Amino acid sequence: MEERSALGGAVVVVLLLAVFFGVLFAWSDAAGILGTVIACTVAVWWSVTRRVSDSSAPPPPGEDRPSCRECAGHELIGVAPLEGQKGMLIYKTAPPDRPNHTHVHIARTADQDT
């Protein structure tokens, strides 16, 4: 049995929509415009209300955050993955005595083998 392609399904849906809107515009310009406005409104509503996956979210800061001599006692501001370097995280901290300063610490994740 052949595996079905998502791209093939998308092409079929686009062709069916093109035929539907072509018939709608051929029947009446006003109906075609109204149908286009309704379809766009539904598409925007769907894209705004659907849930987004958490798979790309940065990992929550844990107790295993790196400690160096410079960032001891700092407040953790954020954690983000380092692009292009799998298994590396960027930790941003703020020292309590310097409110306009951010300390950046790049460290390997705890689950990464060395």
Count of domains observed in the chain: 2
- Contacts of range 72-81, beta carbons closer than 8 Å, 24 or more positions apart: 74/103, 77/102
Give yes or no: residues 45 and 11 share one domain.
Answer: yes
Give yes or no: residues 43 and 61 share one domain.
Answer: no
Residue 75 near residue 97 (C-beta atoms within 8 A): no
Taking the C-alpha atoms of residue 37 and residue 72, their distance in angstroms, rounded to an integer, is: 57
Give yes or no: residues 108 and 80 share one domain.
Answer: yes
Q: In this predicted structure, what is the pLDDT of residue 18? A: 92
Q: In this predicted structure, what is the pLDDT of residue 89? A: 81
Q: In this predicted structure, what is the pLDDT of residue 67? A: 64
| Residue 1 in domain | no
The boundaries of the domain holding residue 113 are 57-114
Residue 109 near residue 89 (C-beta atoms within 8 A): yes
Give yes or no: residues 62 and 112 share one domain.
Answer: yes
User: Model pTM?
Assistant: 0.42
Burial of 93: CB neighbours in 10 Å, binned 0-12, 13-18, 19+? buried
Give pLDDT tens digits along the chain (114 positions): 677 777 888 899 899 999 999 999 999 999 999 999 999 999 999 988 887 665 555 555 555 556 676 677 777 777 778 777 777 887 888 877 877 777 777 777 655 444
| Residue 31 in domain | yes
